[in-house]
Every structure is written in C-alpha cells, then in structure tokens.
Structure 1
Amino acid sequence: MRSKPRNKRLYKKALEIFTLSRSISNYLVHDLSALQHNGNENPHIYFTGDIIRQSDALAPKIIKAENQAYQDERIKQATSLIHITNRLYKNCERLEQSESNGKEFLILLRRELRKFRRLQRLWMMSL
C-alpha cells in the first residue's frame, strides 16, 4: 500500500486546507468561547472543531482512494471525499454567521475549498 499520493497538487491543497482551518479554528475559538448574555455557550463553537476534523480527513482519504485495487472502491472513497468537502464548506458558511472577528478568514478558507473542488473533479476523472 502506498503512503504517498499520486496526485500531489490535490494532496498538497488538502494539507494547506488543514493548516488553514486549524489556524482559523484557533483564532475563532477565543471569540466563540465566551458565554452569551443568557449564560449559554455559543452554538457555533462546535463548528470550529468540525472544520479541523473534516479538513484533517481530506489527505488520508485521497491516499485511501488511490490505494484501492478496484475502481468501484476508488469511486466510493472519492465520493466520500466529496461529502467531507461539502460538509466542510457548509460548516464554514455556518461559522460565518457567528459573531466573530474571523469571518474574513473563513472567506479565504472557502475560496481554497473551491480550488480544492476543481482539483478534486479532475482527480476523480483520473481514478
């Protein structure tokens, strides 16, 4: 089983997204960790962990898809990667609705996710 990706551009973009999402999450968690006026915690704080978890799954999923012996399994793993990417994008949109100073960074992350999606479509055709 190979541990190195065949599509280095897609893999590199996945690693960039993980690094960016981790930095954004660390920034946002300070804004969102304070209790609201009614004493409840901010419900958006959980999305910060979700974007890290989902972006962390991108790179290993690429390698897993490329290492599958049968095309059906490769497509299944690649489809799973699409779902993770879509959830990550949706969580970025949700975080943009929060009361935080880091909204501009989320726009940057969504832009990188759109680039990742373009690379992902080309990659899927080569599986």
Structure 2
Amino acid sequence: MVTKVTSGIQVCVEVTYQSEFSSPHQHHFVFTYKVTIENRSNQTVQLLRRRWEISDAAEVRKIVEGDGVVGQQPILEPGESHSYVSGCNLKSGLGKMNGVFFMEKLFNGSKFEVIIPEFQMIASYFHN
C-alpha cells in the first residue's frame, strides 16, 4: 500500500494482481486497485475529476482522464473518507500508475490538486 497527503487530503492505494482473470501467454494482465481518499482537512471538499498516468513495460505511457471516480464525484466532510475499487489491464505484467485528483473546496469554490501516489503493478506470474 502507498499513501500520500496533499493539502490535508490523504490518498491510499492498494493494488492486487488478478491471476484468475489474466492470460499471461496472451499478454493480458489484470490488476485491481482500491483507492481510499480521506479528508484530514477542516474544509468540506468534492472530487471533481481525475487524471491517471499508466506505464506498461510493453507499451508507451497512457493518460486517462475523466469526471469523478467510477461514476461518482464524492463530497467529503472533514474526517470522512471514500473508497472505491477500479482496474487496469496491461500487456505486460510490469507497470505503474500515478495521477492527480482535481478537487474543490465547497466553502469558497477554490480548486486544488491532490497527488495520487505512484504504485507498482507486478504480476505474481513473474515470481514463479
């Protein structure tokens, strides 16, 4: 698990290789990751957008952007947290991801960025 705090917002990411959904001989490796966002600030915030940078040893780096996370734009009061699970497919069993959440302080509308810490995706296939 990796953790990073930016502007009072803590982001923790835990990644899991999904061997039952992967086909290494067909260059298809599936990973899931659980993200927990905790508001450690004294302000109510909303997650508006996200941008991921995905690096795969077999491909060029990809950028994925969009509104919210898994169809939601959660509002977090001070002390609240929001968790979600998503996934990533790689052509190799080696990769990494990192990114940014674009957030807003609801009391004054000011926008700010929260860093999503880099995490590694390594298929257990390589540990055999």
Give TM-score scaled by structure 1 length: 0.28
Between Structure 1 and Structure 2, the one with more strand by share is 2
Between Structure 1 and Structure 2, the one with more helix by share is 1
Give TM-score scaled by structure 2 length: 0.28
